[in-house]
Chain A
Amino acid sequence: MSEHHHGHGHGHDHHQHDNHFTDMEARVKALETVLTEKGLIDPAAIDAIVETYETKVGPRNGARVVARAWSDPEFADWLKRDATAAIASLGFTGRQGEHMRAVFNTPGTHNLVVCTLCSCYPWSVLGLPPVWYKAPPYRSRAVIDPRGVLAEFGLELSAEKKIRVWDSTAELRYLVVPERPDGTEGFSEEELADLVTRDSMIGTGVALSPEAAR
């Protein structure tokens, strides 16, 4: 920000941020008003869309898929072969999950998903993408410096671990199946799902240990 060069402090930056925010608020308001007056959109439909992603479609869906794969080898196999169908069998379908692929972490390989060209993300299992996933730093660096990126998430992989980065350049949407943590023998699917974080299904994290989840 040029403000720093002019010696202005944090307060000035914050002020500018607020102005920008207000500009977008006004812009979206104008858009919604014009479209509503024209009968082109239904404000109640917008509420329904927002409610869907705030309360129904989120990373808990993906966590259930992973927990089932950890618990049921046949399901894991199905997920490997036909992720779209296997995931649909748990009731998770729809927008930005039409063509799913599941990629499995192993002791030798860690998977990381990015969309360098836009913001492609498996909405049906993870919900709406976090801000950082859509922002230039992650999109630029995930493909060239994944270890540096993972370090910013607090994840240090061993030097010999292979890293596979999946750039979602087409309509396939990727779900990472993290490795099952140690000490989870006998856990129910519900208990296992509590260990599966959103980031572990993008590849910017791993599943929680039972101790960490407590």
Chain B
Amino acid sequence: MNGPHDLGGQHGLGPIAPEKDEPCFHAEWEKRALGVTLSCGAFGAWTIDESRHARESLPPATYLAASYYEIWTRALETLLKRHGFVTQAELDAGHILEVGTEPKRVLKAEMVEGVLARGGPCDRPVATPPLFFAGERVRTKNFNPETHTRLPRYARAKVGVVEAVQGSFVFPDDNAHGKGENPQWVYTVVFDGGEIWGEGADPTLTVSIDAWESYLERV
């Protein structure tokens, strides 16, 4: 979707403002937001792709004004309600009002170390060989789906060079919407700055994206 999250190349968003000796967290609630988000992810009710889509589906004004833990928290409320774990009335009341969905698992303290150390690999085998090879010129698709995609707007309909075939991975455009993992080959594709930004582009700049096979066409 062409949402507020797709930020590459936008102007006017201000200085970076790096913080010297930045703390790990800036407030207690951020710690809880991190832990609650990861704990709910462990339910097994939604995928990382669905959660990314919930975040980018926040109203643009909200998204752009929010810190990232706020984005996580608001999107988590959406996911919990969508999957029947909590109701808005419960969030408003701050207490349990009814029985909701049963999760596949509840993350207990003693499970945390193992779960974090395992992570969630999302490489999957595919039956067909890669369509493109390293060194080949490719063009990215021009499309504007209203649904989740990981092809940023700035890199659509651009010609680049495949630098590496990176393996085969779950296809987020489908997986975010419960249409299955449908893995595809993923390629690192490199573009000249001039191909992406045109006039005035930094001549020393190249930008790469990691693109699923169906984002690409042979030139």
Decide: A130 and B205 in contact? CB cutoff 8 A: no
Number of interface residues of A (CB under 8 A): 82
Q: Is the CB of A47 within 8 A of B109?
A: yes
Which single residue of chain A is at the shortest CB-CB distance from B4?
Answer: A136
Q: How far is the CA of A182 from the CA of B161 in the complex (A)?
A: 34
B90-138 interface (Cβ within 8 A of A)? 90-96, 99-100, 103, 106-109, 111-113, 115-123
Interface-central residue, B17, B29, B80, B151, by most chain A CB under 10 Å? B29
Most chain A beta carbons < 10 A, residue from B73, B91, B123, B150:
B150
Give 1 or 0 for each of A82-111: 1 = CB within 8 Å of chain B CB: 000000000001111111010000000000
Which of A34, A47, A147, A167 sits near B209, CB closer than 8 Å?
A: A167
Whether A96 contacts B5 by the Cβ 8 Å rule is: no
Chain A, Cβ-Cβ closest to B28 = A25
Q: Scan residues 115-164 of chain A and give those whose CB is less than 8 A from a CB of chain B.
A: 116-119, 124, 127-128, 130-132, 134-147, 149, 152-153, 159-164
A4 to B68, CA, bound (A): 25
Interface presence of A71 (CB below 8 A)? no
Inter-chain CA distance A166–B8, complex, in Å, is 12
Interface size on B (CB < 8 Å)? 95
Q: Which residues of B contact A96 (CB under 8 A)?
A: 119
Contact with A along B6-42 (1 / 0, CB 8 A): 1111110111111100101111110111111011100
Complex CA–CA separation, A41 to B120 (angstroms):
19
Question: If the complex has contacts A40-B43, A40-B106, A134-B68, are A140 and B7 also in contact, measured as CB distance less than 8 A?
Answer: yes
Task: Find out whether the CB atom of B112 lies under 8 angstroms from the CB atom of A38.
Answer: no
**A48 located at the interface, meaning its Cβ lies under 8 Å from any Cβ of chain B in the complex:** yes
- Determine if B214 is an interface residue (Cβ-Cβ < 8 Å): no
Q: Interface-forming stretch among A7-15, A168-176, A183-191?
A: A168-176
- In the complex, the number of residue pairs spanning A and B with C-beta atoms less than 8 Å apart equals 277
CA distance A24 to B70 in the complex (A): 7
Whether A143 contacts B9 in the complex (CB less than 8 A), given A40-B103, A99-B167, A165-B208, comes out as: yes
B46 within 8 A of A: no
Within 8 A of B (CB), among A171-214: 171-172, 199, 204
A73 at the interface (CB under 8 A from B): no
Cβ of B215 to closest chain A Cβ, rounded Å:
9
What A residues does B197 contact at CB under 8 A? 144
CB <8 Å contact, B210 and A95: no
Specify which chain B residues have a CB less than 8 angstroms from the CB of A101 in the assembled complex.
Answer: 166
Distance between B24 CB and nearest chain A CB, rounded to angstroms:
5
Give the interface of A toward B (CB within 8 A).
Answer: 21, 24-25, 27-35, 37-42, 44-50, 52-54, 57-58, 93-99, 101, 114, 116-119, 124, 127-128, 130-132, 134-147, 149, 152-153, 159-172, 199, 204
> A-contacting residues of B (Cβ < 8 Å)?
5-11, 13-19, 22, 24-29, 31-36, 38-40, 43, 52, 55-56, 64, 67-70, 73, 76-77, 80, 85-86, 90-96, 99-100, 103, 106-109, 111-113, 115-123, 150-152, 154-155, 166-167, 169-170, 186, 188, 190, 196-197, 202, 204-212
25 contacts between A and B (CB under 8 A): A25-B28, A28-B73, A31-B86, A38-B85, A38-B96, A40-B40, A40-B103, A41-B35, A41-B36, A50-B25, A99-B122, A116-B8, A117-B6, A117-B52, A131-B22, A135-B67, A137-B13, A140-B13, A143-B154, A144-B196, A152-B15, A162-B204, A162-B206, A165-B208, A167-B152
